[in-house]
Structure 1
Amino acid sequence: MNHEAPKALQRPLTHFARLFLHRWPWMLAGTLLTLATLLANIGLLSLSGWFITATALAGLGLIVGLDIYVPGGGIRFFALARTLSRYGERLVTHEATFRLLADIRCWLFRRLAQQDPLSLGRLRGGDLLNRLTADIEALDNLYIRVIGPTIAALLAGLVAMALLGWVDGRMALVALGLLLVGALLTWDAARRGRRSGQRMSHLQPRFRAVIIEGVRGLAELRVYGGGERQRRLIGQHGRAWSQLQRRMAHLTGVGNALNGLAGQLALFAALILGLWLHQQQAITGPQWVLTLFALMGLAEALAPLPLAFQFLGRTRSAATRLLEQAEHPVQVHSPRSPQGMPERFDIELRRVTYGYHAGRPVLSNYSLHITQGRQLAITGPSGLGKTTLLKLLARLDDPWAGTIRVDGVDLRELALTDWHQRIGMLEQHAPVFSDSVAGNLRVAAPDAGEERLWEALRIAGLDERVRAMPEGLATWLGEAGATVSGGEARRLALARVILHDPDIVLLDEPAAGLDGDSARALAARLQHWLRGRTAIIVSHDPDWLPPMDAVLDWSRIDHR
């Protein structure tokens, strides 16, 4: 694991705040515009209050020689400045937030791409999706609602204190008191919302996973009568989620009430103090009103902070989850000084032991030798380690003991990227991307022309089906290949392997979902394509297989 990971997990928000620094021009511009909006609001309120009071007193003859043009111009300036700065603040802060979230998504995806598939496979689909979406989106609270507004409100508070201190130093104490109470309420909101926010962050991925799995497995749930159980499970998570939302809404209401009360108490204190100062002739009537309206503007600047910090616990929990996934130790990695790729691909397993759980090996002291250009079929029931063997050969994980050698070179001494370029693997759960047919195929060969695409589809036995689609190769397949059957999805994945043109072919149940005639037709096409390649085909049914150099009945081998 990265040595910075433990420290980062202790202070996850600080870690992401540092990631934000390269966007400092946008963040600084957004914060300055937020500050300008707050100052314009305070200036507009205080100057308007002073001007209205002064003109009223001038009308009564209590003020002589009042200049209405300068304060009138100031009011128009602050009104226009508030409108423009508010528009600019919304524009810049949201643009900054979108850029920051995009940076985090790219950063996380780069980290995930470096991890081995088995580590990623430990997460449920909904959980991983939640980390890529909701957890990242939760971080928008960090800048747009916490960092920027807090800095701007603090600076605006200092300016308000200076303004009130210019009127009378004792009035500045009221502003200081409002700032301190606002800070206390913000801290209390963060404390009260921490536990509920963390629970929301942990419940949301489970809730989403339950819904996604229910939708994807709807047909199976109907067939096996599991719909009612799934409905109860969704309802249980939904009620828990609603309870947390009600809890947060209650905290929001209490926080808003306390925040409003603090503002009113500050106004009342300024009212009483201002009355006494006015009686002492320390301030004028218009100055007294100016202080009241300035405090109103300061209270408005502090009002959003408790709500933002109330959800800081959820933001922190989301940041922790992202860091846990990003800093997850990579089990399989390239050596620092990899050896060159061998000229031959003779593969040898020497006393390999491997399993998924400690003390429960799937393979134990297993040995196998495959000469370059030979084709091997492995048959037998599920659960004996056939798929595990393919994963080890593809180096999706390393064996607990023993070695896998390629032309005498330990597989762990070869660069992962070089090895993966030489192999083509069809897994049991091959993905179909939300893309066109051509886009799915070009994952294996980005520069492949249409002729190569059609040839790969022909060998996989999918060309006629694609030609019948409305837009042929450009037909959009939908999320997880929603518009194709399971058998068609596997043949599309097989066509991707064929397009990759590998030296070593690893096929796990390539005929799954096909009837007997279709499977035998596929075998005939594969026979020609496999010529000269090293191949291992795993299948439950040996009847459909193309002619192989050897067929290994896995159930008759004492590989445990």
Structure 2
Amino acid sequence: MKALLAFAPLFRRRTPSLLLALLLSLITLLSGVALLGTSGWFITASALTTAGLAFNLFVPSAMVRGFSFIRILARYGERLVGHNATLKLLSDLRGWLFAALFPRLPLPDRSLRHGDLVSRLTADVDALDTAFLVAIGPLLGAMFIGAGMTVLMAFVLPAAALPYGLAMALAVLAVPTALVTVGRRAGQKSVAANADMRMGVLDGLSGLADLNLLGALGTTQHRFAETVDAAGYWRLHLAGLSTLGGMAVQLLAAVALVATLWAGLVALDAGQIEGPVMVGLLLAVLGSFEATAVIVRSVGKASGAMAAAERLQALTDIAPSVMETAAPRDLPQDGTIAFEGIGFSYDGGAPVLADASFVVFPGERIAIVGPSGGGKSTILKLLLRLFDPQAGQISIGGVALTELRLADIHAHMALLSQDSPVFIDTIRNNLLIGRWDASEDDLWSALQRAQLDTYVRALPKGLDTVIGEAGRTLSVGQVRRLCLARALVSNAPVLLLDEPTDALDRQTEEAFMQTLATGTDGRTVIMVTHASIPEGTVDRVLTLQNGELTVA
């Protein structure tokens, strides 16, 4: 519950919509109770009146129709407003989560696998939609209805007020509380098992070729089947608890109904209440327990929502790899980048960089080459201040990176990595990731410098052409050029290129290198690569070996 309360500020943003949904839910429940009560009273009174004489049929029949229409319209409005508010709330949650994650990337917790992270960003956020739709809203509605009916009973049938109130309180508060307490562990296990299933699917798909090659596909399938069985078991466990809760609520409803019937018959015999009114109260009692059924059905989801909230909160509790400076300085006009005696290692392991020093002047293009695992990509991560070095200093224009705002550093540099993604969207929107307010002329200019404009102009929809998942409707070279164009759109004065020609054939690689030479003119370029560097592509080539940089 404490984890759910951490999201209270996000709920407050949607307070007007959520309150309106709650009001419409109350109107729905009230009209339902009134409809049953009025119908019971009307039918009984009509039956007891000889041939319907001396009984006004029009008013109660109009009331029945009126409550029916009110119930239908209020239910529709409650669903419309409630679901709209919930979807906006989920959007707020994802925005909050991404904003909390960015300062923590790359995540230092190596136990968080890719599939687990995807599960938390998708399924765990979706699980929180139950917090209002099937938990808070129905709970408040049932409490209001129960209190109102108890007050009504106290005036009309006092002997039934206390047993009804106790039965309703137990159904609204005690039963759900007991189910949540008992089902807490099952909810956690269910969420974890579902996350394991998603991880199994993602890991299996991404590593399918390797699994086939190593003959481990059967073992993986067996392990995944065990995960599915575990998820099914915990879902059945939660469903069993919900069934028990539903049975308990029905028993309490029966107790309230019998108590009302007994008190009503006694009052009827004493002439203190009329028969039609007693029947109307009985049906109203049944109708008032409608909201409690929704609460009980949501217990399994509520337990899962709490577990999901804890998993999301655990992500935000991870300490960032780097901390913002308390008194940041403005980015200097001089864009000279200097590495001075940099020493760095991951998690206290073997040194990756040892006394690495070099200077890159504004507008200069350099390439850093060296063996795989030698620390070339680490240089770019340190430049983006994803990590801080354990020794030495990195500076821009003589100002240490640790004295600058992270946002200014990231706006100053654009990264084109070997796995830069493209998304299932239009070419335009893929480019606008680089700079959301770029004009159409800016986009075409970037495509021209990346030598992709001719291809895009030939497409029927041009910039509005939708590309497939991971850019599968494009060739590998075109995907790389599109990513380069996106980096150029950013207007960042420094371009960081991490193995930009990885997985390209030799001819495409040489063409892409030439594109870099012409398309990045006027910008500072720092490229790390295994590829051979064509003459004239860069100004200098540095070799990184044993943690030190030397001129090639």
TM-score normalised by the chain length of structure 1 = 0.87
Match of 2:293 among 283, 288, 303: 303
5+ residue gaps, structure 2, are: none
Query: What is the alpha-carbon distance in structure 2 between the residues aligned to residue 143 and residue 136 of structure 1?
Result: 13
- Give 1:153 deviation, angstroms: 0.9
1:158-237 alignment, distance < 5 Å:
158-182=147-171, 183-237=173-227
Checking the alignment, whether the CA contact within 8 Å between 2:321 and 2:386 is kept in structure 1 is no
> What is the aligned partner in structure 2 of residue 343 from structure 1?
333
Closer, same or farther: CA 363–160 of 1 in aligned 2, 3 Å: same
Closer, same or farther: CA 143–508 of 1 in aligned 2, 3 Å: same
Query: What is the alpha-carbon distance in structure 1 between the residues aligned to residue 363 and residue 32 of structure 2?
Result: 78
> What is the aligned partner in structure 2 of residue 239 from structure 1?
229
5+ residue gaps, structure 1, are: 1-9
Checking the alignment, whether the CA contact within 8 Å between 2:513 and 2:534 is kept in structure 1 is yes
Q: Percent identity?
A: 38
SS of 2:346 mapped into structure 1: strand
Query: What is the alpha-carbon distance in structure 1 between the residues aligned to residue 334 and residue 407 of structure 2?
Result: 17
Checking the alignment, whether the CA contact within 8 Å between 1:118 and 1:396 is kept in structure 2 is no
- Give 1:388 deviation, angstroms: 0.3
> What is the aligned partner in structure 2 of residue 98 from structure 1?
87
Q: Which amino acid aligns with 2:186?
A: S
1:369-388 alignment, distance < 5 Å:
369-388=359-378
Query: What is the alpha-carbon distance in structure 1 between the residues aligned to residue 404 and residue 477 of structure 2?
Result: 34
- Give 1:169 deviation, angstroms: 1.0
Closer, same or farther: CA 490–264 of 1 in aligned 2, 3 Å: same
Closer, same or farther: CA 345–122 of 1 in aligned 2, 3 Å: farther
> What is the aligned partner in structure 2 of residue 320 from structure 1?
310
Query: What is the alpha-carbon distance in structure 2 between the residues aligned to residue 50 and residue 448 of structure 1?
Result: 68
SS of 2:393 mapped into structure 1: strand
Query: What is the alpha-carbon distance in structure 1 between the residues aligned to residue 73 and residue 547 of structure 2?
Result: 78
> What is the aligned partner in structure 2 of residue 55 from structure 1?
46
Query: What is the alpha-carbon distance in structure 2 between the residues aligned to residue 442 and residue 50 of structure 1?
Result: 65
Query: What is the alpha-carbon distance in structure 2 between the residues aligned to residue 164 and residue 315 of structure 1?
Result: 36
> What is the aligned partner in structure 1 of residue 280 from structure 2?
290
Can you list the C-alpha shifts for 1:536-557, whole angstroms capped at 9, x where unaligned? 2212233556554443332365
Instruction: Give the aligned length.
Output: 548
Closer, same or farther: CA 131–310 of 1 in aligned 2, 3 Å: same
- Give 1:460 deviation, angstroms: 4.2
Q: Which amino acid aligns with 1:79?
A: S
Match of 2:342 among 343, 346, 352: 352
Can you list the C-alpha shifts for 1:327-357, whole angstroms capped at 9, x where unaligned? 5444335434332333333322223222332
Checking the alignment, whether the CA contact within 8 Å between 1:118 and 1:397 is kept in structure 2 is no
SS of 1:303 mapped into structure 2: helix
Closer, same or farther: CA 289–118 of 1 in aligned 2, 3 Å: closer
> What is the aligned partner in structure 1 of residue 18 from structure 2?
27
Matched, 1:15 2:34: no
Query: What is the alpha-carbon distance in structure 2 between the residues aligned to residue 53 and residue 293 of structure 1?
Result: 12
Checking the alignment, whether the CA contact within 8 Å between 1:200 and 1:314 is kept in structure 2 is yes
- Give 1:219 deviation, angstroms: 4.5
SS of 1:311 mapped into structure 2: helix
Q: Which amino acid aligns with 1:554?
A: L
Can you list the C-alpha shifts for 1:281-320, whole angstroms capped at 9, x where unaligned? 4433333323322221122232221222332221112222
Matched, 1:418 2:408: yes
> What is the aligned partner in structure 2 of residue 126 from structure 1?
115
Match of 1:46 among 37, 40, 45: 37
Checking the alignment, whether the CA contact within 8 Å between 1:191 and 1:310 is kept in structure 2 is no
Checking the alignment, whether the CA contact within 8 Å between 1:171 and 1:291 is kept in structure 2 is no
Can you list the C-alpha shifts for 1:497-529, whole angstroms capped at 9, x where unaligned? 344454333222122222223323333343345
Q: Which amino acid aligns with 1:88?
A: G
Matched, 1:138 2:141: no
Q: Which amino acid aligns with 1:433?
A: F
Closer, same or farther: CA 144–364 of 1 in aligned 2, 3 Å: same
Closer, same or farther: CA 104–47 of 1 in aligned 2, 3 Å: same
1:379-528 alignment, distance < 5 Å:
379-446=369-436, 448=438, 453=443, 456-457=446-447, 460=450, 462=452, 466=456, 471-528=461-518
Checking the alignment, whether the CA contact within 8 Å between 1:348 and 1:369 is kept in structure 2 is yes
Checking the alignment, whether the CA contact within 8 Å between 1:487 and 1:512 is kept in structure 2 is no
Q: Which amino acid aligns with 1:292?
A: L
Can you list the C-alpha shifts for 1:398-455, whole angstroms capped at 9, x where unaligned? 2233211223221221233333333232222212122222332332244556665455
- Give 1:140 deviation, angstroms: 1.6
- Give 1:368 deviation, angstroms: 2.9
> Mean Cα displacement is larger for which, 106-115 or 291-300?
106-115
> What is the aligned partner in structure 1 of residue 98 from structure 2?
109
Query: What is the alpha-carbon distance in structure 2 between the residues aligned to residue 351 and residue 31 of structure 1?
Result: 62
TM-score normalised by the chain length of structure 2 = 0.88
Checking the alignment, whether the CA contact within 8 Å between 1:37 and 1:81 is kept in structure 2 is yes
Q: Which amino acid aligns with 1:285?
A: G
Query: What is the alpha-carbon distance in structure 2 between the residues aligned to residue 120 and residue 464 of structure 1?
Result: 44
Q: Which amino acid aligns with 2:30?
A: L
- Give 1:91 deviation, angstroms: 2.5
Q: Which amino acid aligns with 2:368?
A: I
Give the root-mean-square deviation of aligned CA atoms.
3.1
- Give 1:373 deviation, angstroms: 4.1
Matched, 1:368 2:358: yes
Checking the alignment, whether the CA contact within 8 Å between 1:436 and 1:475 is kept in structure 2 is yes
Closer, same or farther: CA 101–441 of 1 in aligned 2, 3 Å: closer
> Mean Cα displacement is larger for which, 434-443 or 279-288?
279-288
